[in-house]
């Protein structure tokens, strides 16, 4: 794998291969010494144009567990904020010997530009670009679902026939998009539930079903309910009347959680707004995978870094 | 040792054991290669809700000298500032595989909450919580005093009969509190000197003597005089008329320093306000331990990380 | 080498020795595992009083490639901003065991003060001080010129007879000063071109020629044209009428670039203001060494850290 930019272009076999390597990486996490020498001498740069301590730390932990050197580059206060172009930043990191660049950017498509530009030799991992994609999030979500369904027998398996209901701000969510492509490729069936203001206007290219009513969706008994985070900046932008109104209509509150099929799993990419899109009872229940998602995030990112940085990177 | 939260609950034997390990760690600092492989594969997270470059760097140097991986997490600009709870932050760090969390927090008791909550498996080290405690500071102070008194014969010794006068903002000082408990446990006798506005209202539970007059305290010839830092925010809060007034009444100026017993040692946790609570002559004299305290801080933190992260952490 | 503070005091032989070691380091960059164990157990502190992500990352990459531990210390939000003196900061870092301190400071001379003070045992590297010097920049520039001229046969060579024209804000540029001393020592002939407002008032001590007209300088056919960055803060300080005016008079635009001798090389320390001091065609041409300078920066900084931290540091 040359870059990891999007889940849209990942084939079923590629996805399963990556998830299988992540299984191996998860095994390492259980050892006394969690460190592998695999990426010794490689340099991973975390190039973050948006703050995201959670995602940055997850990549940093993943890279260090593989013995790579990590350099954190926050675009704030750097020459980037002095008007340096993405091109010059990229070429500079390349010249310094970066082997992989993990980029989070407010502009959709920035990681793709970087990868296609020829400005940089490094492998590029998209760690979230605008409202476009967040592929490692989708991969860790798929990994988490597969493990819940198949346990230690997960290797080689896809998600054939699994029903996943994703609830919340679909319009702006890169998590929703990356999950849609990946889960569908793996054989799952995705449906989205949101207030009309938070669904895309044109969904003809989206292989999913759409609904406005969370109660109906809950009663349909999906295998997975994935609640998305409501960003604070949406609340003041009249996408919905008030946080209370949102929680009442589209939050996974205690009452809805009680009605959910007994073996459905509850997911959230974090950080959670407890009491808004999800109640504490739902978030902390045994059916919640919130913390498994965080742990699996490190394993999946180890797998991605491994695929980009070891062996023959020209493969795909 | 499971966590290091407070010096109040540390027994005399535990304290001496930790200080003795710190002696071993101090020996490492003298080697050509100062690195030990002891904590290879362990991850230490510095979770700082308050800025403190000094303390963060000391823990970072300690962890790296033991070959641990270090991840710095400043709560500013993180999802914490987006309203994420301490619980969710803690569970996230735990899920990512943090083995130890070094926490500095503006709220007294936050590290204890973290340790008792069950939210996190990691060992917790309190690096300063509100006006409550700063245990590694007290341990490095005790280590420094013991070394000045006993030199290379320090191992196994306590501070029986040593007299320590702590001067300054006792009311708000976590350093004063942590030192009181630890020094007393080790057999020292502590007295506090401060303007009445900077002493606690109720001192009945404090095993110390209290005074307002620094000159009297100096003339009593204590073994140790420890000057506390006056925080800038106190100066504008009318705890005392003016910095000049404070320096005149409670500063270790040249005149007082000259009157101090010839073999008394002078301590300060740093960073110093030279000319306010301490004169440069006092700070830079051979009797000052200010820099020894900094160096010993790394050794003591290495010992604490070692006790928390190696061997059987369930001991206490 | 004990410290690296200035290029003014470096002899021709010392400079060539450092550049030759940098050649060895550049060879390492081509290996599969780019890491050397040379500085294992050494601690390098990046002490930055001014933001400079580029320079900080270059030193961080250099130190990590030599297996040193790196601690980043941004003076913002630290006790430095609470009024701690440079002396106390330096002594603190020394006590914590820093082996080298890479310092960037807004005050000209701060690194020299640090090195001469006796406050700190560590080797000091000046990473830019006020309008004074930036020695590693000059060394990487000399390295880059030498490589362009002599390729793999560079070892042992100086820059005898090479003509270098440096264009831009000479008045405030530490890059210009460090290059002047080093290039002259290596046998090159330096001329400066700038608007009269951006040249020093007294240049009697500068072994260079001075001019106001870039076109004349271009037509003279220098071996090297080095364009300096115009800092944003100069633009609003009436050193020149407007950015457009500056670009017309002193920018290396496409027209001037076309007239430049066919084998002249074009240099820029970065980050570039494309369209202001340099056009994109000039910056991205095969004659531009902008990215080689970045790559060589890591090699030169590895060489500097190596000379300061390994073997007998008391040599000079």
* CB contact (8 A) between residue B95 and residue A294: yes
CA–CA gap between residue C95 and residue A106 (Å, rounded): 42
Mean pLDDT of C129-134: 97
Nearest CA in chain A to C66: A41
The pLDDT score that the predictor gives to residue C81 is: 53
A58 vs B41, B94, B96: nearest CB: B96
CA–CA gap between residue A262 and residue A222 (Å, rounded): 10
- Whether the per-residue pLDDT at C29 is higher than 90: the answer is no
Write the DSSP string, A243-301: HHHHHHHH-B-HHHHHHS-TT-EEE--S---BTTTB-HHHHHSTTB-HHHHHHHHHHHH
- Whether the per-residue pLDDT at C316 is higher than 50: the answer is no
Strand ranges in chain C using DSSP code E only, listed in sequence order:
43-48, 69-74, 100-105, 123-129, 163-167, 189-193, 209-211, 224-227, 265-267
CATH class of A12-134+296-309: alpha beta
SS3 (DSSP) at B209:
strand
* CB contact (8 A) between residue B51 and residue C78: yes
* Lowest-confidence region among A283-297, B13-27, B174-188, C85-99: C85-99
- Whether the per-residue pLDDT at A207 is higher than 90: the answer is yes
Write the DSSP string, B61-112: HHHHHTT-EEEEEESTTSTTTTT--HHHHHHHHHHTT-SEEEEEESSTTHHH
The pLDDT score that the predictor gives to residue B80 is: 60
CA–CA gap between residue B112 and residue B166 (Å, rounded): 26
Place of tokens 């730390």: A57
Residues of B with CB under 8 A from a CB of C: 29, 31-35, 51-54, 57-58, 60-61, 64-65, 232, 270-274, 290-292, 294-295, 297-298
- Count of H helices and E strands in chain A? 12, 9
Q: Looking at the domain B12-134+294-309, which fold is it? A: Rossmann fold (3.40.50)
Helix axes C12-29, C174-185, angle to 10 degrees: 110
Closest C-alpha among B93, B103, B44 to residue B68:
B44
CATH number belonging to the domain at B135-291, selected among 3.40.50.1370, 3.40.1280.10, 3.40.50.150, 3.40.1110.10: 3.40.50.1370
CA–CA gap between residue B157 and residue A239 (Å, rounded): 67
Backbone phi, then psi, for C14, in 5-degree steps? -60, -40
Do C90 and C120 touch, CB atoms closer than 8 A?
A: yes
The pLDDT score that the predictor gives to residue C315 is: 43
The pLDDT score that the predictor gives to residue A135 is: 98
The pLDDT score that the predictor gives to residue C85 is: 84
CA A134 to chain centre: 5
Place of tokens 């003016």: B242
Mean pLDDT of C3-30: 96
The pLDDT score that the predictor gives to residue B69 is: 97
In A, which residues are within 8 Å of B43 by CB distance?
34, 61, 64
The pLDDT score that the predictor gives to residue A314 is: 46
Do A261 and A222 touch, CB atoms closer than 8 A?
A: yes
CA–CA gap between residue C314 and residue A66 (Å, rounded): 38
Helix axes C12-29, C290-309, angle to 10 degrees: 110
Do B6 and B275 touch, CB atoms closer than 8 A?
A: no
CA–CA gap between residue B121 and residue C137 (Å, rounded): 47
| Mutation target vs B (from A36, A54, A147; most B CBs, 10 A cutoff) | A54
CATH class of C135-293: alpha beta
* A153 DSSP assignment: G
CA–CA gap between residue C275 and residue A174 (Å, rounded): 35
Backbone phi, then psi, for B88, in 5-degree steps? -65, -40
* CB contact (8 A) between residue A43 and residue C64: yes
* Lowest-confidence region among A238-247, B167-176, B187-196, C180-189: A238-247
Write the DSSP string, C77-95: TSTTTTT--HHHHHHHHHH
Residue B191 CB-half CA count within 13 A = 20
Q: Is C224 exposed, middle or buried (0-12, 13-18, 19+ CB in 10 A)?
A: buried
Domain map of chain C by residue range? Answer: 12-134+294-309, 135-293
Do C102 and C47 touch, CB atoms closer than 8 A?
A: yes
Do B77 and A53 touch, CB atoms closer than 8 A?
A: yes
**Residue B11: both structure tokens together:** 């027994």
Low-confidence ranges of chain B (pLDDT < 70): 76-83, 311-316
The pLDDT score that the predictor gives to residue B30 is: 81
**Residue C75: both structure tokens together:** 């003076």
The pLDDT score that the predictor gives to residue B29 is: 84
Longest dimension (CA), chain B: 56
User: Who contacts C51 (Cβ-Cβ below 8 Å, separation ≥6)?
Assistant: A77, A78, C74, C76
Longest dimension (CA), chain C: 56
Phi-psi region of A313 (alpha: psi -120 to 50; beta: other; left: phi over 0): alpha
Closest C-alpha among C292, C283, C176 to residue C228:
C176
Place of tokens 């008030």: A242
Mean pLDDT of A190-215: 96
In B, which residues are within 8 Å of A54 by CB distance?
78-79, 92
ipTM, two decimals, is 0.91
SS3 (DSSP) at B181:
helix
Give the 3-state secondary structure of C100-111: EEEEEECCCCHH
Closest C-alpha among C87, C29, C10, C13 to residue C294:
C29
Backbone phi, then psi, for A141, in 5-degree steps? -70, -45
Nearest CA in chain A to B69: A64
Provide the pairing of β-strand A123-129 with A163-167: unpaired
C57 vs A41, A71, A84: nearest CB: A71
Partners of residue A71 on adjacent β-strands? A45
A315 pLDDT tier (thresholds 50, 70, 90): very low
Write the DSSP string, B251-309: -B-HHHHHHS-TT-EEE--S---BTTTB-HHHHHSTTB-HHHHHHHHHHHHHHHHHHHH
C-alpha separations of C225 from B283, C163, C165, C247, C277 in Å: 52, 9, 5, 16, 12
Q: Is B261 exposed, middle or buried (0-12, 13-18, 19+ CB in 10 A)?
A: middle
**Residue A137 assigned as binding residue:** yes
| Mutation target vs B (from A37, A53, A147; most B CBs, 10 A cutoff) | A53
* C288 DSSP assignment: B
Helix or strand (DSSP H, E) at A191: strand A189-193
Q: Is the fold of B12-134+294-309 the same as that of B135-291?
A: yes
C91 vs B65, B274, B291: nearest CB: B291
Nearest CA in chain B to C46: B57
CA–CA gap between residue C291 and residue C272 (Å, rounded): 11
Q: Which chains touch C (3 or more CB pairs under 8 A)?
A: A, B
Closest C-alpha among A216, A222, A171, A174 to residue A198:
A171
C134 pLDDT tier (thresholds 50, 70, 90): very high
SS3 (DSSP) at B16:
helix
The pLDDT score that the predictor gives to residue C59 is: 98
* CB contact (8 A) between residue C77 and residue B295: no
**Residue A156 assigned as binding residue:** no
**Residue B137 assigned as binding residue:** yes
Place of tokens 């369209």: C275
* Lowest-confidence region among A51-55, B77-81, B220-224, C157-161: B77-81
In A, which residues are within 8 Å of C297 by CB distance?
96
Beta carbons within 10 angstroms of residue A143's beta carbon:
25
**Residue C54 assigned as binding residue:** yes
CA–CA gap between residue C117 and residue B149 (Å, rounded): 30
CA–CA gap between residue A149 and residue B185 (Å, rounded): 54
Nearest CA in chain A to C230: A82
pLDDT digits (tens, 9 = 90+) for A216-235: 999 999 999 999 999 877 77
- Whether the per-residue pLDDT at A272 is higher than 90: the answer is yes
A33 vs B41, B93, B94: nearest CB: B41
CA–CA gap between residue B124 and residue C40 (Å, rounded): 28
* CB contact (8 A) between residue C69 and residue B61: yes
**Residue A82 assigned as binding residue:** yes
* CB contact (8 A) between residue C54 and residue A79: yes
What does pLDDT average to over chain C? 93
Do C168 and C153 touch, CB atoms closer than 8 A?
A: no
C142 pLDDT tier (thresholds 50, 70, 90): very high
């Amino acid at each position: 794998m040359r870059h990891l930019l999007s889940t849209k272009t990942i084939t079923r076999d590629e996805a399963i291969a990556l998830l299988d390597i992540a299984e191996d990486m998860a095994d390492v996490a259980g050892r006394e010494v969690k460190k592998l020498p695999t990426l010794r001498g490689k340099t991973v740069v975390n190039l973050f144009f948006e703050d995201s301590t959670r995602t940055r730390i997850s990549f940093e932990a993943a890279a260090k567990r593989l013995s790579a050197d990590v350099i954190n580059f926050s675009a704030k206060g750097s020459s980037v904020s002095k008007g340096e172009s993405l091109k010059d930043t990229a070429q500079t990191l390349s010249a310094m010997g970066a082997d992989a660049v993990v980029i989070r950017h407010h502009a959709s498509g920035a990681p793709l530009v970087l990868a296609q530009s020829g400005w940089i030799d490094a492998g590029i991992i998209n760690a979230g670009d605008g409202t476009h994609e967040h592929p490692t999030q989708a991969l860790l979500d798929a990994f988490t679902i597969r493990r819940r369904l198949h346990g230690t027998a997960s290797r080689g398996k896809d998600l054939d026939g699994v029903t996943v209901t994703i609830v919340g701000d679909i319009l702006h969510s890169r998590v929703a998009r990356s999950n849609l492509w990946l889960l569908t490729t793996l054989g799952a069936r995705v449906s989205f539930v949101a207030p009309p203001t938070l669904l895309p206007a044109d969904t003809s290219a989206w292989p999913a079903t759409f609904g406005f009513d969370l109660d109906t969706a809950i009663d349909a008994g999906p295998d997975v309910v994935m609640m998305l985070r409501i960003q604070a900046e949406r609340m003041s932008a009249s996408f919905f009347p008030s946080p209370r109104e949102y929680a009442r209509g589209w939050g996974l509150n205690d009452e809805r959680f009680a009605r959910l099929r007994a073996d459905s799993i509850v997911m959230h990419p974090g950080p959670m707004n407890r009491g808004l899109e999800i109640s504490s009872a739902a978030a902390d229940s045994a059916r919640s995978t919130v913390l498994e998602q965080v742990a699996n995030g490190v394993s999946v990112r180890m797998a991605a870094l491994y695929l980009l940085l070891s062996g023959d990177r020209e493969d795909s």
